A and B are shown apart, each in its own frame.
Chain A
Amino acid sequence: MTKVVITTDRTMMTNHHGKEFIGFMTTAPPIFMPEWLWMRISAPKIRTDERGEPWQAPYGLRKIEAALLDAGIDAAVIDPDHLSKHIDKAKVLAIGHHDYFALGPPSSEWWVLTGREPVNAKSFRKLMERPEIKRAKRNGAKIIVGGPAAWQWLYKPDLMEKWGVDTVIDGEGERVIVEVVRKALSGEELPKFIQVGVEDVPSLQQIPLIKKASVNGLVEISRGCPRHCRFCSVTLRPLRHYTLDMIERELEVNRRAGLKGCILHSDDVLLYGSDGIYPKPDPIIKLHELAKKYFKDIGWSHFSLSAVKYAEENYRLMSRISDMLLEDDDYIGVEVGIETGSPDLAERIMPAKALPYKAREWPSVVIDAFSIMHDLRIVPAATLIVGIPGERPEDVTKSLELVDELRPYRSLIVPMYFVPMGLLMNKEWYRAQPTQEQMDLMKACLRHDLFWIDDLARWYLRKANPFLRLSISLFISLVKRAASRYLFI
């Protein structure tokens, strides 16, 4: 029984059948199927030991666990179905989430479009209303919440009171959590809200290394981003690159636990080892050589499109790393941000996103990067922001034109509603019904995705279990039928 229980709800405490992208289904309400089936597809239960410790857990929770263990505090990540084993001894419940109340992208968008609450918010509410959590509160345990969605608690003070949330930590929490947990264990007064600023952000040497396996072998390679897009919260953090030794130690943890693959995570994997916005070939190659030593299956989290173009045109770097990772008939996926097809809007909200190219060249940078990735069998899953402050109908039309131009390139494009974060955190929330132009843009994205979906599903599901293969195939055919019948796509 552990004193500090770190947990979250089922939509987070899962490995999505080993298919990270399936996790996006947890941001939507069930569509064309009952909720239990939707949850079984998107968030199956994870194997645990007899203490209730999952064999894989979200990377962010593993970092908090590592920080507390390094500080000599008895802490463990516990699966939500096993809380009762620890709750009577627990002094602190530390809870993290990617999207507590489905207010972030893309959950908020599915909520507006379908009029129904996404399963991530529903599942989190069920967690907080479990008898074990209530019992822990009655026993005097403190509840500390954090993670990338910590800001959402500011919009839910009623639920903070109802569920007895003691402290909200917003920002990189590895240093602050130790201080707050120590205070909680010694009965000191806790702050209600904490924003982790530069003075409390861990330096590279202070970032703890995970002790137990992360979901789908995800390991962080860098933190922060130098591009300073105004809508992004990551941009407020200093850029730090892990050393290869740090990365290797986390790869080892995951391989020892039995994982068969890894995901290299950064806000821009291609800037690993760089000191600005220019990708450097040597650190990138060494990073991939290291990962290959441990795993055959290697994935990436995010690329910036300008880095893709620059890296290939100057060093053939995209070709070199895709040669290292890909077998003959394979694809490899990565998340990228288009955000807008409008040069005007790009200049205003993300002036450095295109660097070293000009912001006004952004649409051509996007097309060039997509073309490079298509040839190398890299599949971008791209986001577009809808409803960003200052967006005009002509900006949306430019985005629509860009989506049409991207048709020849194998990819998925997902429009996401603007959510106020980063330097735009004080701006109005976009929760209105979409305008005609925005609807047209969303339809164009759906048309693009349906054009590519069969090709992509064949690749993505080829090693999936039969249940997942059948369920997703059925879901795709239902989406196609509905798109044809109701949206004339």
Chain B
Amino acid sequence: MSRISVKAENLRKAVEIFMKLREKYPTRSIEVFVVSNDDESSDNN
């Protein structure tokens, strides 16, 4: 099982995404990055 890895456009979005993911996957590894505005959000999983 690989780690769920997600990018968010800012800190607040990162919090929001992280909270949703941990509720959905309480026992999976999750990492959320904050990227600069010119990067797009993506899900590597």
Contact = CB atoms under 8 A, between A and B. Distances in A.
B29 A195 contact: yes
Interface residues of A, number: 21
Given A189-B33, A197-B28, 19 more contacts: A154-B15, A157-B15, A160-B11, A190-B33, A191-B5, A191-B33, A192-B8, A192-B14, A192-B33, A192-B34, A193-B15, A193-B30, A194-B29, A195-B28, A195-B30, A197-B30, A199-B3, A200-B3, A236-B27
A191 B19 contact: no
B33 A425 contact: no
B33 A199 contact: no
Contacts of A154: 15, 18-19
Contacts of A199: 1-3, 28-29
Interface string B13-26: 01100110111011
Interface in A423-442: 423, 425-426
A199 to B, nearest CB: 5
A50 interface: no
A192 B35 CA distance: 10
Nearest to B22: A195
A196 interface: yes
Contacts of A328: none
10 contacts: A157-B15, A170-B22, A193-B14, A194-B29, A195-B31, A197-B28, A197-B30, A199-B28, A199-B29, A425-B22
B29 A193 contact: no
A161 interface: yes
Contacts of A189: 33
Nearest to B35: A189
Interface string A135-172: 00000000000000000001001001100000000100
A197 B4 CA distance: 10
A196 B12 contact: no
Q: Which residue, of B1, B25, B31, B32, has the highest number of chain A Cβ atoms within 10 A?
A: B31
Contact of A197 (B3, B12, B14): B3
Interface of B: 1-3, 5, 8, 11-12, 14-15, 18-19, 21-23, 25-34
Contacts of B34: 192
Given A199-B1, A200-B3, A236 B26 contact: yes
B31 A194 contact: yes
B11 A197 contact: no
Interface string A175-217: 0000000000000011111111111100000000000000000
Nearest to A176: B29
Contacts of B22: 170, 195, 425
A160 B2 CA distance: 27
Contacts of B28: 195, 197-199
B31 A423 contact: no
A197 B1 CA distance: 10
A196 B29 contact: yes
Contact of B11 (A170, A190, A192): A192
B15 A191 contact: no
A175 to B, nearest CB: 10
A191 B31 contact: yes
A199 B25 CA distance: 12
Contact of A194 (B2, B27, B30): B30
B19 to A, nearest CB: 6
A194 to B, nearest CB: 5
A200 B26 contact: no
Contacts of A423: 26
Contacts of A161: 11
Given A195-B29, A425-B26, A157 B11 contact: yes
Interface string A334-349: 0000000000000000
Nearest to B18: A193
B31 A193 contact: yes
A424 to B, nearest CB: 10
Contacts of A198: 1, 27-29
Q: Which residue, of A190, A191, A193, A197, has the highest number of chain B Cβ atoms within 10 A?
A: A193
A170 B31 CA distance: 10
Nearest to B17: A193
A150 to B, nearest CB: 11
State the 8 A-B residue pairs at the shortest beta-carbon distance, nearest first: A197-B29, A191-B31, A197-B28, A195-B30, A193-B18, A193-B32, A200-B29, A426-B23
